[in-house]
Amino acid sequence: MQIAGLIKNSVVDYPGKIAAVIFTSGCNLDCYYCHNRFLLSPKTWGDLLSEEEVLRFLEKRKKLLDGVVISGGEPTLQKDLKEFLRKVKNLDYEIKLDTNGTNPALLKDLIDNKLLDYVAMDFKAPFQKYSQICGSNASLVLEEIKESIKILLTGQVAYEFRTTFNPELKKEDILEMAEYIQGARLYVLQQYRKPDLPDYEKLALRLQQDVYSTDFIKETVQKVSEIVAVCETRGI
């Protein structure tokens, strides 16, 4: 496992639990608003933590933590993710996976083997806008993303879908996405934060506005709540 970061204690990353958060390196998408962009390249992610070091930490904190979040980057790019999760499970932790949904085969395998207790999948955009928002590679993995959505909607594991309400998404886009996951147990709309990019002003020229207002997002949530079981906000 390539582990590029560790938060030792979090009360916001795993609903209802105190958890450690492990960040894996590398991602196959390139979302301009991502605040973990340093994880995209070996040039920026710095020194990696050893798997043994992280497991020793988790062993020591067993009585203080409820769960472990595997985030990134994109964790399902790690070839030994399944083996690592098994080691974490052997320490009696509940595990939450943050994923972009581009590896449905592994996602299903992990669920079938009861190595996941919660999955948070980023549903980035309507499919016709994925390349615009997540980089050109996104067009190559749309079918995989659709398959991951189907897997989660079967309800074999607790899950949530989440979307950062960035300025390139309209209310109509969010409603279209909600229709695609109609009946989902939880859909979370997250507030957009301006990324710290040197060329952000150039990017801003194509954006509708900097940030949607809290009232606008709450208004959208009301509409979405008619389509999915529960719609919530974060970061507003």
Which one, of 95, 81, 72, 59, lies nearest residue 23 by Cα? 72
Query: Can you give the pLDDT at residue 199?
Result: 61
DSSP classification of residue 49? B
Beta strands in the chain (DSSP E): 3-10, 19-24, 67-71, 94-99, 118-122, 158-164, 187-190, 231-234
| DSSP-derived 3-state class of residue 159 | strand
pLDDT tens digits along 171-212: 999 999 999 999 999 999 999 988 776 665 556 556 655 788
Q: Which CATH superfamily is domain 3-234 in?
A: Aldolase class I (3.20.20.70)
Q: Which pTM was predicted?
A: 0.94
Per domain, the residue ranges of the chain are 3-234
Query: Can you give the pLDDT at residue 42?
Result: 81
In Å, what is the CA distance from 62 to each residue of 49, 67, 136, 155? 19, 9, 42, 28
In Å, what is the CA distance from 6 to each residue of 57, 82, 118, 119? 10, 19, 19, 19
pLDDT tens digits along 70-88: 999 999 999 999 999 999 9
CA distance 91 to 57: 11
